[in-house]
Amino acid sequence: MGLVAVGFEGVDYSSDAGSTWKHLSDEGFYTLRFLNDSVAFAAGKGRLSKLTFFK
C-alpha cells in the first residue's frame, strides 16, 4: 500500500504502509486529490501541481 502526505513542509511518499518515507518535494500544499491510482493533483497557495506515480 502506498501513502502520500502533503503539508506546509512538502510532499512525502511511503511505499511500505508508512514504515519508511521518501521526501519528494519542498513545495507546500494544502490538499491532494487522486484522479486514479497513479495520478493526483495537489493544491497550495496560488498553485496546482500534477503528481504521477509509477508502479
pLDDT tens per residue across span 1-55: 689 999 999 999 999 999 999 999 999 999 999 999 999 999 999 999 999 988 7
Alpha helical stretches, state H, the chain: none
Query: Tell me, what's the pLDDT at 20?
Result: 97
For residue 12, list its beta bridge partners.
5, 23
- Say if residue 19 is exposed, middle or buried (CB neighbours under 10 Å; 0-12, 13-18, 19+): exposed
End-to-end CA distance of the chain: 11
Domain count, the chain: 1
Query: Tell me, what's the pLDDT at 43?
Result: 97
**Domain range for 42:** 3-52
Cell 493544491, residue located: 43
Query: Tell me, what's the pLDDT at 54?
Result: 83
Query: Tell me, what's the pLDDT at 53?
Result: 87
